[in-house]
A and B are shown apart, each in its own frame.
Chain A
Amino acid sequence: MINDFMIMILPILVIFLSLGVFFIWVSKSKEPYASTNDSKEHTHND
């Protein structure tokens, strides 16, 4: 059950996997607290 893959490879994969999940979660989720967003309308004046 404990083998070289688990000791040598898996931990490094954990870093990349968690970074990937974080990136996708944050960029795909909809704008947080949009309903309470009271100043959004000023944002696109350009």
Chain B
Amino acid sequence: MIDDPVILSRILTYATLGFHAIFATVGVGIPVYICLSEYIGIKRKDSHYILLAKRWARGYTILVAVGVVTGTIIAFQLSLLWPTFMENAGQLIALPLFMETFAFFFEAIFLGIYLYTWDRFKRPIYHWLLSLPIVLGSTASAFFITSVNGFMNTPRGFIYSEGAFTNIQPLVAMFNPAMPSKVSHVITTAYLTGAFILAAIAAFHILRGKTHVYYKKALHLTMIGCFIFSIATVVNGDISGKFLAAYQPEKLAAAEWHFETEDRATLLLGGILDPDEQEVKFGIRLPYALSILAFNRPTAEVIGLNEFPEEQWPPLFIHYFFNLMVVIGMYLAGVAFVYLVFYYFNRFNSLHPWLLRAIILGAPLAMLSIEAGWIMAEVGRQPWIMRGFLTVAEAATTSGHVLEMLILFSLLYIALGLLVPAILIRLFSKRNAETELEKQHVIL
């Protein structure tokens, strides 16, 4: 293993993507809240929301800087570690890769302008307009790059014959069947995770005894986002299940340990698999639920893993990651729902300490769920890098130095992973919200 470039390349790609996913998710998620908060602040002439947008933007900049850095790394690592894949991808799916850089370029330009022009416009709404390209650019980046990922799962838009690709249709490749459900899930979960992180910060301060209404406004705004985007995530998660059943049944079957093709299929949560007997112990079984997830009909027939040759099975441990993602998703939706019920019915205290603790817990869980979802999606694609055409083993580099690079990059990620939280905490504790609010009253 230690000298197999395929395994090492997979581990290094996992390390980079796993690390990048944190910052990329935040990078897509948070601009929505910055933009909306500034808008409300301007409309209601409420300096609290403006300060909220400012402080969020400040933290966002540091996270985005690391996101830019890790994004640059993965952009190059794709070629360095998977040269054969990128040679093929260059011919087939270069369009969204190319457009992703445009979207990112667009976002980077306006982020630079946005951060340094807070007080430079006579009409504040002009400054707010600058936030729109940031939201648009970051979300479009997610759209394009997820489209490439969709292509890896369902390659379309070409004819393969005698070792060559012909009749190439870049737009068909970009709008492949995996793209819409993936894009939707990636974007709404990013909005959801962004909301939970911001809500957790506000909840943390309220729990620590801060009483300023500034924190409550932040909490309320973000909790509405948590609720709406958790519902959206459940909806497009369900659509993703239907996509898998129709286009990538082996991934759904592996995630569900569903071996025999059968109707009235049961959904399995947890459990321990005996791989030889294909028997599951201790799981929670929901009758008909898998058929409903796959086809919206309790009696529908769901294709089992035994229909596929065993060397094409994805690793079966993705079941746990799939479950983790689903369970956390339900928890996040539940917490957001409880908060809103408590808020709108005056009988309950929507700032109850236990509810605040549940919200704080939601932030790391949401990130964990993002990671679990990506592991399920990417490991579930194995052994393919381009499903049906090119395996991961064929695509990897043949270089003998991947191990050294793995160590090098791991050290970098560890260093950044330790420094980023330290810097953020230092940045915000040095200039806390109360003192900034005091200053603002003078200006406004």
Contacts and interface: CB of A to CB of B under 8 A. Distances in A.
Contacts of A38: 211, 213
Contacts of B212: 39
A1 B216 CA distance: 44
Contacts of B184: 11-12, 14-15
A7 B441 contact: no
B220 A32 contact: yes
A46 B444 contact: yes
Interface in B225-253: 225, 228-229, 231-232, 235-236, 239-240, 242-243, 245-247
Contacts of B236: 11, 14
Interface in A1-46: 1-2, 6-12, 14-15, 17-19, 21-23, 25-27, 29, 31-33, 36-40, 42-46
A5 to B, nearest CB: 10
Chain B at the A interface: SS class:
helix
Contacts of B239: 6-7, 10-11, 14
Contacts of A42: 441
A11 B242 CA distance: 11
B217 to A, nearest CB: 6
Contact of A43 (B46, B225, B297): B46
Interface in B130-153: none
Given A22-B228, A45-B444, A8 B177 contact: yes
B228 A7 contact: no
B187 interface: yes
B355 interface: no
8 contacts: A7-B242, A11-B236, A14-B235, A32-B217, A33-B213, A40-B213, A43-B46, A45-B444
Contacts of A17: 232
B319 interface: no
B384 interface: no
Interface string B236-273: 10011011011100000000000000000000000000
Given A12-B180, A17-B232, A2 B225 contact: no
A2 B295 CA distance: 6
A41 B441 CA distance: 10
B183 A11 contact: yes
B183 A12 contact: yes
A31 to B, nearest CB: 7
B19 interface: no
Given A40-B213, A45-B441, A11 B224 contact: no
Nearest to A2: B242
Given A6-B239, A8-B180, A33 B220 contact: yes
Contacts of B247: 7
B289 interface: no
Nearest to B180: A11
Contact of B224 (A15, A26, A40, A44): A26
A25 B295 contact: no
Contacts of B25: none
Contacts of A45: 441, 444
Given A2-B242, A11-B184, A39-B437, 10 more contacts: A7-B247, A8-B177, A12-B183, A14-B235, A22-B225, A26-B36, A31-B44, A38-B213, A42-B441, A46-B444
Nearest to A20: B228
Chain A CB within 10 Å — which of B47, B213, B444 has the most?
B213
A38 B39 CA distance: 23
Contacts of A12: 180, 183-184
A19 to B, nearest CB: 7
B127 interface: no
A39 to B, nearest CB: 6
Nearest to B245: A2
B444 A15 contact: no
B148 to A, nearest CB: 17
A45 B439 CA distance: 13
B203 to A, nearest CB: 13
A2 B395 CA distance: 34
A19 B84 CA distance: 39
A43 B45 contact: yes
